[in-house]
Structures are given as C-alpha cells and as structure tokens.
Amino acid sequence: MFHHLIASFLPHLPKKFIWLFSRRYISGVNLEDAVKTALQLHPAGAWTTIDRLGEFITCMKQAEESRDAYMTIIDRFGIENLNVTYSLKPSGFGLLIDFEACYELIRQVVMKAHDGNQLVRIDMEDSACVDREIELYRRLHAEFPGNTGIAIQSYLRRTANDLKEVAEWHTSESPVNIRLCKGIYNESEKIAYKRPEEINRRYLADLEFLLNRGIYTAIATHDKELVNGAFGLIDKYQLSPTQYEFQMLYGVSPDLRTAIIEKGHHLRVYVPYGEEWFGYSTRRLKENPEMVKHIIKAMFVRA
Ligand SMILES: Cc1cc2nc3c(=O)[nH]c(=O)nc-3n(C[C@H](O)[C@H](O)[C@H](O)COP(=O)(O)OP(=O)(O)OC[C@H]3O[C@@H](n4cnc5c(N)ncnc54)[C@H](O)[C@@H]3O)c2cc1C
C-alpha cells in the first residue's frame, strides 16, 4: 500500500529529482552514454546488451524511428571492440499497432546484426504481448537463428508450454537462444504465479529444462538463491561457459556481478539509455510498485 502510494506520487515530482535515483539504472540520455558505460564495464570482464528506451509509441512513424535508432546503435558499436548484443521491446516497433509492419522493421534490425555477426534479443513485455512476441521470434529464428534470441518469464503459468514449443525449434544448425527472467510486470494471479517461492521453483525448473537440452540460456537474475541454483545445474550437466551466460541489470547488485565473473562465468549487463528515461522509470514504478523499496535505498546507498 505504502509502495503504491509513493509510486503514484513520484511522477509528479520534478524530473531532476527522479533522475537522482534513475541514473543508477540508466546509463544516460544519449547513445554515447551507453557506449561509455559499455567501455567502463568491459575491463572488469562484463559484456553488455544495449536497450534504447522508448517502448510506448502511438504511430508507425515512431516505430520507424526505433528501427533507425537501432541501426545507428549497431553501426556505432560496430567500431568498438566489445562483446555486445542489442535488446529491444517490440511495442516500440509497433507490435500492438501493426504486427506485420513491426515484424518487418525488427527483421531489418536483425538482418543488420546478422551482417555483423551479432545478436538482437526480443525483450518479453506484459502478457498481452507474449503470443505476438513468440511469433516474432519463431519467424526471426527461422531466418536468422544465430542472430536472434528472446526473453521468457518464469512467473507466467503458460511458460512451461511455451518452452516446450520453442525447444522444438532448437537444432544444432538452428540453435535457440533464451534469456530466462522472473518477469517484471504486474500480472493477475490467473496469468502468473505470485508467491516468490513458487516463482523461484518454476525458474529453476525452466532453467533445468533449457540447460538439459543444450539450449544457450542467459540466466537473468540478481537473486542469490537462483544464481546458486544455476551453479548447481551447470555442475550437474557439466556445462562449459560457452553454453550459457549470466545477465544482470545495470546498477543492480554489482558485488554479485563481480563474484559471478570471478568464478569464471560470462556475465552480460543490460544497459538502457535514452531520452525516454523519465517515462520508463515512472511506468516501471506503476507496473511494479515494489521497485520503490529499491529506489528509496538507491537514494541513500551509492552503487
Ligand atoms: C538482464 C535482464 C533482462 C531482463 N529482461 C526482462 C524482460 O525481457 N522482461 C521482463 O519481464 N523482465 C525482465 N527482467 C526483469 C526480471 O524479470 C525481474 O523482474 C528482475 O530481474 C528482478 O528479479 P530477480 O530475479 O533479480 O529477483 P528479485 O527477487 O526481484 O531480486 C533479487 C535481489 O536483487 C536485487 N534487485 C532486484 N531488482 C532490483 C532493482 N531494480 N534495484 C535494486 N535492486 C534490485 C535486490 O537486492 C533483490 O533482493 C530482466 C532482468 C535482467 C537481469
């Protein structure tokens, strides 16, 4: 209740004040801020995935701007010697306005990544987008299997079935690439598991399903219980670090990040940037008021 109250109040505060906590999670407003962050993370052994903020659009002209922006991002990172991938939210490409046009725009981005032998991952959004985003991935994977991946959310009740479907597309010539996360949107109990223990149990079951099938998995979590569970599965299936990676959000749990890298695992940091940082921050708060506790902490504790 307290978190809900604060979450609804924060968007009315001055932008400068919101930036005080957002800056911990967002690399900056411009592409060069994201480049700078990636270059800073690189010497510590962290790879990066770049996300341009701006998923809420109202017309396909804005979707074309998203496509153009990602083309520029890929060009810009192409001149750096970094291990980088790109993460995008299909709603920013018009997913909910015109599915076919959205697919075509994202396909152009993936084709460009393919030319540079890089990867574009489809972030998973709220439950209204899941069918469409899996369909996008099905098509893109069929054409560019090595250059595209998708995020899957363990809190969704449908996920075990979705993973079975996606695993059927996986072959050694056309490998599937999954980022497994808990899921961040505020879904109803009908759609999503709600109890933390249940979400964690589902997460580890989903992770075992993927790793057992040799599917490259990005283990996206800051939850120590899940990280330890992942270590156990990596041992159980005798996996080499080329078969998975860990992923964490920029600004979250840097100590855990260092500990994972020091153990010899690959780790990628999700680096968002963009002019839409204010809307992004306040929308994320409305979707998940529990974030308030992290924000309050971030105001006092420097990462
Ligand atoms: C790389 C990456 C990509 C993601 N992509 C998606 C996606 O495509 N779709 C989607 O729905 N969700 C995505 N998420 C978000 C994810 O679904 C979770 O909501 C988020 O990671 C928190 O879950 P957790 O596993 O870290 O566990 P939690 O139990 O939520 O967190 C574990 C601990 O991590 C710390 N922590 C977690 N989040 C924060 C924070 N924001 N600020 C400060 N501390 C924090 C806290 O100490 C907390 O106790 C992504 C997460 C990561 C790491």
* pLDDT interval class at 232 (50, 70, 90): very high
The pLDDT of 268-286, averaged and rounded, is 81
pLDDT, tens digit, 9 for 90 and up, residues 26-66: 899 999 999 999 999 999 999 999 999 986 789 999 999 99
Residues flanking ligand 1, CB < 6 Å: 123-124, 151, 153, 179, 181-185, 220-223, 247-249, 252-253, 270, 291, 294
Q: What is 47-273's CATH number? A: 3.20.20.220
Residues β-bridged to residue 56: none
Contact 223, 248 (CB under 8 A): no
Task: Point out the ligand 1 atom lying closest to the alpha carbon of residue 269.
Answer: 1
Task: Point out the ligand 1 atom lying closest to the alpha carbon of residue 183.
Answer: 17
Residue 129: predicted pLDDT: 97
Residue 151: predicted pLDDT: 98
The pLDDT of 142-170, averaged and rounded, is 98
Residue 192, pLDDT above cutoff 90: yes
Distance CA 257, CA 245 (A): 12
Least reliable range by pLDDT among 6-10, 70-74, 211-215, 222-226 = 6-10
Of residues 272 and 7, the one with the higher pLDDT is: 272
Q: Which residues are within 8 A (CB) of 117 and not within 5 positions of it... i.e. 6 or more apart?
A: 146, 147
> Apex CA 87: angle with CA 86 and CA 92, to 5°?
120
Of residues 3 and 97, the one with the higher pLDDT is: 97
Residue 302: predicted pLDDT: 40
* pLDDT interval class at 122 (50, 70, 90): very high
* pLDDT interval class at 301 (50, 70, 90): very low
Residue 295, pLDDT above cutoff 70: no
Contact 265, 245 (CB under 8 A): yes
Residue 165, pLDDT above cutoff 80: yes
> Look-up: residue for tokens 């341009």?
52
Residue at 160: amino acid letter: A
**Ligand 1 geometric centre to CA of 79 (Å):** 30
Q: Which residues are within 8 A (CB) of 134 and not within 5 positions of it... i.e. 6 or more apart?
A: 150, 162, 165, 166
Q: 217's torsion region: left (phi>0), alpha (psi -120 to 50) or beta?
A: beta
Contact 117, 45 (CB under 8 A): no
Residue 168, pLDDT above cutoff 60: yes
Q: What is the mean pLDDT of the chain?
A: 91
* pLDDT interval class at 198 (50, 70, 90): very high
Q: Which residues are within 8 A (CB) of 201 and not within 5 positions of it... i.e. 6 or more apart?
A: none
Residue nearest to atom 37 of ligand 1 (CA): 222
**Ligand 1 geometric centre to CA of 186 (Å):** 13
* pLDDT interval class at 116 (50, 70, 90): very high
Contact 124, 153 (CB under 8 A): yes
Start-end of H helices in 79-223: 99-115, 130-143, 159-168, 196-212
Residue 242: predicted pLDDT: 97
What is the radius of gyration, based on Cα positions, of the chain? Answer: 18
> Apex CA 215: angle with CA 266 and CA 229, to 5°?
60
pLDDT, tens digit, 9 for 90 and up, residues 131-141: 999 999 999 99
* pLDDT interval class at 276 (50, 70, 90): confident
Q: How do the domains of the chain map onto residue ranges?
A: 1-26+276-303, 47-273
Proportion of the chain above pLDDT 90, given as a percent: 79
**Tokens linked to 281:** 């921050």
Contact 176, 166 (CB under 8 A): yes
Task: Point out the ligand 1 atom lying closest to the alpha carbon of residue 247.
Answer: 1
**The whole model's pTM is what?**
0.94
Residue 303: predicted pLDDT: 36
